[in-house]
Chains A and B, each alone.
Chain A
Amino acid sequence: MSSETKTTVPFNGTEEQKAELLKVIAEKKDENGALMPILQKAQDIYGYLPIEVQTIISDEMNIPLEKVYGVATFYSQFSLFPKGKYRISVCLGTACYVKGSGDIFNKLEEVLGIKGGECTPDGKFSLEACRCIGACGLAPVLTVNDDVYGRLTVDDVKDIIAKYND
């Protein structure tokens, strides 16, 4: 085994979310190829696909958890990690990348202690890479929710994170 893919963020699913998921599964489970659409709906409902959600799908569809997990890890649009309160997106498009956004991304991984795609255990920050957001003139660029930060250097990373101290 090579990687650890269990999120450390506690699962906070509600009864309403579960009821919604069960309804979706009941509607679709007898269709051919139902797993993919059910996973998509589950991600819509919960925002991500933690073990708790995948276990519900496995139990209800009567298929091995491994089969669910195999599909969830194969397709990149499925996420095993929740999004943080503050979603940090670093543009790794060509212009930003040439201007050093890769280093900024690495610095964020280091400062937050998480990898791309993951969320900090307190649920505050999640980190992801994105492609061009149309602000090449400000390269390198990152966004925190709707805030845009441009013309960055690696040294700016700590100050940006410090702004979100609530």
Chain B
Amino acid sequence: MENINLKINGVDVSAPAGSTILEAARIANIDIPTLCFLKDINEIGACRVCVVEVKGARSLVASCVYPVNEGMEVFTNSPKVLESRKKTVQLLLSAHDRKCLSCVRSGNCELQKLARDLNVEDEGYFDGEKIAHTIDDSAAHMYRDNSKCILCRRCVAMCDKVQGIGVIGANQRGFKTEICSAFEMGLGDTSCVSCGQCIAVCPTGAISEKDNTTEVFKALADTSKHVIVQTAPAVRAALGEEFGLEIGTNVEGKMVTALRKLGFAKVFDTNFAADLTIMEEAHEFLDRVKNGGKLPLITSCSPGWIKYCEHYFPDMTENLSSCKSPQQMFGAIAKTYYAEKMGIDPKDIVMVSVMPCTAKKFEIGRDDQNAAGVPDVDIAITTRELARMINRAGIKFASLEDGKFDDPLGESTGAAVIFGATGGVMEAALRTAVATLTNADPASVEFTDVRGVEGIKEASYDVAGMTVKVAVASGLSNARELLTKVKNGEADYHFIEIMGCPGGCVNGGGQPQQPASVRNFTDLRAERAKALYSQDAASEVRMSHKNESVKKLYAEFLGEPGSHKAHEILHTTYVKRKINK
């Protein structure tokens, strides 16, 4: 591609044609602060924080959307630029609830950092009228406090463009503008699917998950309770970011030690239930293929995707696997098999899950998720909340020794750990399905066609004389595109994996919040997924049906995959919902 030559702060820079000033500056190792800009998602040049001076231009320009031209001279740090940015931030602060001390985002708030970097000495300089907002806590997983909203519209773009849901937007106009749902209805009354992608991109504390950490600390202090924990595959690939480790560092060992130090009686791995999910789902798939059941079979691990399907494709809920998600399967096994083995009343077990996901908070309250007559999972916390707990307990994470998960529900295979990335569930299922159909191990356990961060992936495999067509989608706009094809008869797959968040659970709504300055230039999805695929590659056992503890669970308790007992404990039901009430 042709290159454009320009000068930034007097230094020659060469950038590909079509680059923005922001991108060109990056090449020259110059950071320009941004606020509303999210690459490919929210490119509206609205907040004016990224303004720069261009020689000959009549006014300052928004570098995030302004393309470079040959011979252009740009100044990113002139007094005029710095003064303008400062004033912009001061104006934003004039209507902002500045209770930073008690704000969940204090320390990683993008507005706070800007105010500090731009030397805003008086945050109340432009103080004037403020709108009295009430907090919307109607949804199961999050709250919205518009007194901290700066109207950047990052959440709106995420919800509408990336997820294709659009239950939030800008209403009213001028000073009265606010981001909320139609007719000011609570988010819990809309078709919000709880994916939490809005939280992941919010620069301030305006939207956040409902924090359940106090509840967990309380349970841990209650000596009459047996408090156990499970951690989802994707958590280990991102938790380290909260403690300054490089993106993509696998911190499984430190995480296990930290959980033990926090006082959990047993530290288990959701990966165990991921292997179990494969046993049940592969069985369900083969059963549907053999007996003319509803195809394509669609995975059911992602609760955001499940709720989306219920709202937007209600006539396809029969295609969903009836398997509970790994989180719920784990809880169900903990409160039946494990409780029986340990001689503990399931009522005295508190099952805590650590998830990369906010929809898991919604999922634990769904119907038909209580195998032992009590909820399968009691408290679901996000990766971020676990980091908060570790900090609150004064545990020095970075210097912890590596620990190992407890037996028996801590054993897992390489197939399970890749559940955290888009394509991972499909690959894990293929490994076991191929082995089952051919009565032999596949030549290679790596099904690389279904890997990678593309929104929609397709592949077909010849297995025991049958051509198995599969597809994988992540992010709900992609899911919609794929399912619309299936619905219109333009595609005929046997098996589809869908994850609600783009890139899968590694990029879930409950994962550490990386500021736009990082998100815009790093593919979080790919970097975090690498940690999981490396762990898989290094695993001795890489197929779910070879998990010894899972085999034992069937032998001692469940019988066969798909047995009556397995159905009662490990499977669930769905409802049909509307988009608008």
> Which residues of chain A have a CB within 8 Å of any CB of chain B?
1-6, 51, 54-55, 58-59, 63-70, 73-74
Contact = CB atoms under 8 A, between A and B. Distances in A.
Contacts of A55: 580-581
A36 to B, nearest CB: 15
Given A1-B180, A69-B182, A64 B173 contact: no
Interface string B155-177: 00000100001111111110010
Contacts of A67: 160, 166, 169
B169 A2 contact: no
B181 interface: yes
B169 A64 contact: yes
B167 A66 contact: yes
B184 A68 contact: no
B133 A1 contact: yes
Nearest to A63: B166
A1 B172 contact: no
A64 B131 CA distance: 26
A25 to B, nearest CB: 15
B171 A70 contact: yes
Contacts, number: 71
Contacts of A73: 171-173
A58 B184 CA distance: 16
Closest 7 CB pairs of A and B: A64-B166, A69-B182, A65-B182, A66-B169, A70-B169, A66-B182, A1-B184
Interface in B159-211: 160, 165-173, 176, 178, 180-184, 190
Contacts of A63: 166
B507 interface: no
20 contacts: A1-B133, A1-B180, A1-B184, A2-B132, A2-B133, A2-B134, A6-B183, A51-B183, A59-B579, A63-B166, A64-B166, A64-B182, A65-B182, A66-B167, A66-B169, A66-B190, A69-B171, A70-B182, A73-B173, A74-B172
Contacts of A6: 183-184
B136 interface: yes
A76 to B, nearest CB: 8
B137 to A, nearest CB: 11
B328 interface: no
Contacts of B579: 58-59, 64-65
B182 A1 contact: no
B167 A2 contact: no
B579 to A, nearest CB: 7
A74 B542 CA distance: 56
Nearest to B134: A1
Summarize B's interface: helix, strand, loop or mixed.
Answer: loop
Instruction: Using C-beta atoms within 8 Å of the partner chain, give the interface range for chain B.
Output: 20 to 34
B544 interface: no
Contacts of A5: 183-184
Given A55-B580, A74-B171, 8 more contacts: A1-B146, A2-B133, A59-B579, A65-B182, A65-B579, A67-B160, A69-B169, A69-B171
A100 to B, nearest CB: 24
A66 B168 CA distance: 6
A117 B284 CA distance: 58
A54 B182 contact: yes
Given A51-B183, A58-B580, A64 B176 contact: no
A74 B182 CA distance: 12
A42 B169 CA distance: 22
Given A51-B183, A70-B170, A70-B171, A1 B160 contact: no
A1 B169 CA distance: 12
Nearest to B166: A64
Contacts of A58: 579-580
B165 A64 contact: yes
A2 B180 CA distance: 10
A68 B182 contact: yes
B184 A4 contact: yes
Nearest to B171: A73
Given A66-B169, A74-B173, A2 B131 contact: yes
Nearest to A62: B579
A58 B146 CA distance: 25
Nearest to B186: A1
A107 to B, nearest CB: 24
A51 B189 CA distance: 14
A63 to B, nearest CB: 8
From B133, B165, B579, residue with most partner A Cβ within 10 Å:
B579
A63 B169 CA distance: 12
B513 to A, nearest CB: 23
B183 A1 contact: no
Nearest to B187: A1
A69 B183 contact: yes
Most buried by A among B167, B168, B169, B170: B169
Given A73-B172, A74-B172, A2 B178 contact: yes
A65 B579 CA distance: 9
A59 B579 CA distance: 8
Contacts of A68: 182
A114 B167 CA distance: 28
